[in-house]
Amino acid sequence: MRVLIGMGVVLVLIVSLQRWTLAAEPSAHWTPDYTKVDLSTILTKEVLSENDYEILLKQSGLGRPVVDNLLATGNENTIYRMQNQFFTTPLLVREKNSPISKEEFVVDENGKYIAGTEMIALEDGDILITQNSLTFGWRNGHAAIVVDANKGKTLESAVLGENSGIQTIGKWEKYPSFLVFRLKDSSAEDRRTIAQEAVKRLSGVPYGFGAGIWTAKHPDNMLKETHCAHLVWEAYRQFGYDLDSNGGRLITPRSIADSPLLELKQVYGMNPDEL
């Protein structure tokens, strides 16, 4: 009887995961369903209004910190380029990256991985989040922290069976969707310090789904396991910032993205009105 019950549970789980996979399909990338507008009137202003920033976000995916950076450095042409990329629907592919998980990437007509857009004005300590990672068909997403923006390096706990380590930002530009955040009301130097300390403390940690569930969210001794969102959370927790917006034991990319301690720098492939 126990065997039959166990088989029934497994069957229900398999069917549920298949349904999750099908339900996840429309969420890989979002392209604006509203009109692309001329931004020249806004970009020639000396001072932008809150409404101007909102329009620029919905038209280019660039948040206020990045817009201010580009305008201050005379790179307003970048905003036009980003607008074109924001309104372009890319070709996508989904491929396995472990026995239980898959990732989605932008490809050209020959199936070669390409960047769907660019990550603009990245800084050390920035937080990257994508929804293009799936485990058992569940769109659980992925998260990373930028540890060397000049060299295009991130620190990530990427996949089951691998330890956390340094990866490249170029991979992130090939995702069909992503978000870039930075810590509010903080200096670039403080964020850089957080990133540097994360490399020292959180590199080489085994991947574990149970971090925060079967093991302590923050152990008193050495961290024995982590996963993508947990690693980002732990990097900032060390400096007194709790980025877990729901306060539960399980930290997810979504719970970090919803943190009131963060400000949006860039969005791609996702609807700004639904963030």
Q: Kindly state the average pLDDT of the residues 27-38.
A: 96
Q: What is the DSSP letter of 273?
A: G
| Lowest-confidence pick of 8-12, 104-108, 186-190, 257-261 | 8-12
pTM: 0.88
Q: Is 258 left (phi over 0), alpha (psi -120 to 50) or beta?
A: alpha
Instruction: Tell how far CA 222 is from the center of its chain.
Output: 26
Task: Look at residues 139, 118, 101 and name the one whose alpha carbon lies nearest to residue 253.
Answer: 139
pLDDT band at 216 (very low <50, low <70, confident <90, very high): low
User: Does the structural domain 20-31+88-268 have CATH classification 2.40.50.140?
Assistant: no
**8 A C-beta contact, residue 126 and residue 198:** no
| Unique residue bearing structure tokens 């001072």 | 47
**8 A C-beta contact, residue 201 and residue 233:** no
What mean pLDDT is reported for the chain? 89
User: What ranges do the domains of the chain cover?
Assistant: 20-31+88-268
